[in-house]
Amino acid sequence: MVTLKVDELKAGMVLAEPVLTKRGQSIAKTGDKLTTQLIAKLHFYKIDSATVEDIEDEKEEAPAPVVEEPIEEKKPSEQEAKEAAHRNDSFFSDQITYTQRLKASPKFQQFQSDYALNISFLKEHLEKIANGEDASCTQPLLEECESLFKSKTTLELFDMLNNMRNLEDPIYSHSLNVALIARSIGKWLKLSKDDLNTLTLCGLLHDIGKLKISDEILDKPDTLTLEEFEQMKEHPLLGKKMLNGKGFDSRILSATLQHHERSDGSGYPRGLMDDEIDDFAAIIAIADVYDAMTSARAHRDPLCSFQVISEFEAEGLQKYRTKFILTFLERIANTYNNSRVILNDAKTGRVVYINKSNLSRPVIQLDSGEIINLADNVYHDIYIKSIL
């Protein structure tokens, strides 16, 4: 083993010890192979050094290869070759999922790099505001965030976000995700460019109040106590206070204060209802919940998009502005039309039709060729577990 400065690390090296942040949270574990992205992540979290396996020692200890006598192979017939090729095609089409192809693509790797830079820039900017510095110039924030939209379909953007779940700073990654999701909603609602920019800033800044909440509460893996939850619920008020008097658009202040309000009056901090809630705050509320549900939690794995749609539908949609939530759910569901999915009974297939009256339960063509309509009562126990 050898301990190297981060600048001396190279892709391909294997970690001999786990890498932890100053707060004790894991960035990488023993046995992980370093990649360019992982090394950049170590730089991002200001890690000084890492312990890796001694590559030279590994080479010296490697056993000599076993030389075997060549075996004369029988050349397959043309028919056998065709059948083998078909089996290989079937294997790879089943085993190499869309997500795996996405992660291996240059576009995703560039997104990953740009995303990390956005997080770093956002963190620096929000901390300046939290420390009382003048950070009202938000144009650079907008330009960095908008760059993540370039040359991507809605499906690519949302799937890339779903695969960016390994960053340590949930406040900043969540805020960036909410900004991107909210901007997508704004585009679907045909908002003007200026309004899109303001809505994006609403997402970037909506959780800034959490910077005043203790790490013990923010990082607690278990369910918060009633007292801890009451402290957590103060973050909208703390956020608005931090942004007051700094020249921000009034809709940004409203989104910061009201993103946990609900149209039926069940939200906080003021229990506002329907039209009492600012339009942009109502959009941020939807983006906020969607990102939270598609993120992993201590007590559950991340939900897939169809499960999130089901959660929204189960609440009767009464908690959210009707126009906004219906537009969002219809767009999300249709984004995954024709996608391969796996059901909770382990069967796999493809979404072939979205039921407008029951968006979370589309028509599926199974790999066997059978077509099932999840909206039919006979399939009430079957649901989409994940998107492949």
CATH number at residue 6: 3.90.105.10
Domain extent for 370: 340-387
pLDDT of residue 102: 79
Q: What is the CATH number of the domain that holds 297?
A: 1.10.3210.10
Do the domain assignments include residue 323? no
Same domain membership, residue 249 and residue 117: yes
pLDDT of residue 328: 96
Do the domain assignments include residue 183? yes
pLDDT of residue 77: 53
pLDDT of residue 334: 94
Same domain membership, residue 131 and residue 274: yes
Same domain membership, residue 370 and residue 260: no
Show pLDDT as tens, one digit a residue, over the chain (388 residues). 889 988 888 888 999 998 887 666 677 888 888 876 677 667 666 788 899 997 654 444 444 444 434 434 444 455 544 444 444 444 334 445 667 787 888 888 888 888 888 898 899 889 988 888 877 678 888 888 888 888 788 888 988 888 776 556 789 999 999 999 999 999 999 999 999 999 999 999 999 999 999 989 988 888 899 999 999 999 999 999 999 988 899 999 999 999 999 999 999 999 999 999 999 999 999 999 999 999 876 666 788 999 999 999 987 678 999 999 999 999 999 999 999 999 999 999 999 999 999 999 999 999 999 999 999 999 999 999 998 8
pLDDT of residue 274: 92
Q: Could you tell me which residues come within 8 angstroms of residue 134 by beta carbon, excluding any fewer than 6 positions away?
A: 128, 246
Q: Residue 304, Cα to own-chain centre: how many angstroms?
A: 11
pLDDT of residue 37: 62
The last residue of a domain, from among 34, 61, 88: 61
Helix (H) or strand (E) holding 255: helix 250-258
Do the domain assignments include residue 325? no
Do the domain assignments include residue 35? yes
Same domain membership, residue 178 and residue 242: yes
The count of domains in the chain is 3
Q: Which two tokens stand for residue 336?
A: 């995954």
Do the domain assignments include residue 154? yes
Same domain membership, residue 231 and residue 124: yes
Do the domain assignments include residue 373? yes
Same domain membership, residue 38 and residue 180: no
Same domain membership, residue 354 and residue 257: no
Same domain membership, residue 109 and residue 48: no
Do the domain assignments include residue 243? yes
Which DSSP symbol is given to 113? H
The last residue of a domain, from among 277, 302, 327: 302
Same domain membership, residue 241 and residue 153: yes
- Start-to-end CA distance of the chain, whole Å, equals 39
Q: Where are the beta strands (DSSP E) in the chain?
A: 2-5, 19-20, 26-28, 49-52, 340-343, 348-353, 363-366, 371-373, 384-387
- In degrees, rounded to 5, the angle at the alpha carbon of residue 248 between the alpha carbons of residues 244 and 266 is 70
CB 289 within 8 Å of CB 177:
no
The conformational region for residue 101 under phi > 0 = left, psi -120 to 50 = alpha, else beta, is: alpha
Same domain membership, residue 175 and residue 267: yes
Same domain membership, residue 371 and residue 244: no
Do the domain assignments include residue 6? yes
Beta bridge partners of 386: 342
Which DSSP symbol is given to 220? -
Same domain membership, residue 289 and residue 152: yes
pLDDT of residue 92: 37
